[in-house]
Chains A and B, each alone.
Chain A
Amino acid sequence: MCALVLAGALIPARAHADHHTMTMPEDTPASSFDASVSILAATFSTMFYGGDYEGVVPSVGWANERVGAGASWAYYRLLENGLTRFGEGDLVLHAQATALGEHDLQAGPTIAVSIPTGESELGFGMGHVMVMPAAWGAWRRDRLAVTASLGYSRALVHASALHDHGMWPLVEPMNMSEITWSAGGELAIAEGIRAGARLSGGVPIGLLPGHDRVVGTARVAWATGRVDTAAELQAGLVGDPFNIRGVLSTSLRF
């Protein structure tokens, strides 16, 4: 509850539950608010845990032509090793800017910070603050859009206190210290409908233990008026972030 209050008091924003996955709207008006909700379902099988989870992720955001900010907060049902639990995930705050915006090319910095509102021991949260700065770029020509990002994510915790449990938490796993990356493309296939694919992942660096992670995503999105809706099918290709995950999200701009 306090996280909702914080989110409301702090910022309107363009939320990024999936860290920086470089989804920039194609025709952003001068300034707009948005409210969105995503529902997701996944199965996972890691070294220590197996099961599935479902989640709902409400988010709010604000953006103009140069900057945007947002917040998102998930609530999950998690079945792990035979036990079902319910709980909120970590609160994610996000901001980004367009530093370069010429013709077909856009680029800029972005930063996300997760606040450990989720219970770490139960698999809902990292257990500490994560800071996730990155740079993103987007290139558009005709019906094609190509996007990419590169960043560094780090847990604000002393390395000597850690053991290698693999990536954590179960619902949105990351390493304690990692290079994050994503690259993808979208093609407008009909009026208001886009389809695309994306690869994203993390590479652990530093003294902290960790594992490589690669996620492949197929995506279709459609826009009608002020409503944007997208469906994604994601597969954990490397590192067991999950086996398969589906995400359906819809966003209202106003």
Chain B
Amino acid sequence: MRTLILVFLVACTTTPLKGPPTEATCPDATNPALTWNNFGYDFACHYCTNCHDSSLKLSQRNGAPLFHDLDTLQGMMIVSDHTDEQAAWGPAAHNSFMPGAGTGGKCPSVLGGELDENCPKPTDEERENLGTFLACEKLRTQDYTDSDAGVSDHCANYTGPH
């Protein structure tokens, strides 16, 4: 009977949807290859901000938590640990919960829209790059007003595919 109970306890315990920290590292914190300009901006605006955007009302977020807004570098870095645990790959974990797993694989095709299309999925390489990018940005002294560095770019200006 005890064995039966143990078997059921294990079987009934769900697999965690959120992964542990990826423990991704930054190869060169003084001169990172991946920046908000050449990677983070496109990644966030393409895969994340139709739900995780600071302009969205509560009812438009499709379950995305408040204050988890990835439409700016500052917004992304405020919740960088969560982003790492939900979407990034690294030596310690491959986290692929977002985008899509929390919404049955469906995403909005427009900002704040209905879940009307299959979520675009980052490639394995993009997820690894996300982990590295976040690791480097955490080490960098942040100046979110330095427009020359491109860090003030906002997804409202994004013209690529969502």
Q: Which residues of A contact B (CB under 8 A)?
A: 2-3, 5-6, 9-10, 47-50, 80-83, 85, 91, 115-122, 125, 127, 129, 161, 163
Contacts and interface: CB of A to CB of B under 8 A. Distances in A.
Contacts of B17: 119-122
A80 B14 CA distance: 21
Interface in B85-109: 97, 101-103
A102 B37 CA distance: 74
A125 B14 contact: yes
B66 A47 contact: yes
6 contacts: A48-B65, A49-B66, A81-B58, A82-B58, A83-B61, A122-B63
Nearest to B60: A82
A122 B103 CA distance: 9
Interface in B7-27: 8-9, 11-14, 16-18, 20
A116 B14 contact: yes
A236 to B, nearest CB: 18
Given A48-B67, A116-B14, A117-B13, 16 more contacts: A80-B63, A81-B61, A81-B62, A82-B60, A83-B61, A115-B9, A115-B12, A115-B13, A119-B14, A120-B14, A121-B18, A122-B63, A122-B102, A129-B13, A161-B20, A163-B81
Interface string B128-160: 000000000000000000000000000000000
Interface residues of B, number: 31
A9 B4 contact: yes
B34 interface: no
A122 B18 CA distance: 10
B13 A6 contact: no
A127 B61 contact: no
B59 A82 contact: yes
Contacts of B9: 6, 115
A241 to B, nearest CB: 17
A82 B63 contact: yes
B97 A82 contact: no
B62 A48 contact: no
Contacts of B14: 116-120, 125
A5 B115 CA distance: 34
Contacts of A125: 14
A98 to B, nearest CB: 25
B28 to A, nearest CB: 28
A144 B70 CA distance: 56
Contacts of B58: 50, 81-82
A119 B97 CA distance: 12
Contacts of B101: 121
Contact of A91 (B4, B12, B97): B12
B12 A6 contact: yes
Contacts of A91: 12
B46 interface: no
Contact of B63 (A47, A81, A116, A127): A81
Given A82-B62, A161-B20, A48 B8 contact: no
B82 interface: yes
B1 to A, nearest CB: 8
A163 B4 contact: no
Contacts of A163: 81-82
Contacts of B62: 81-83
A6 B8 contact: yes
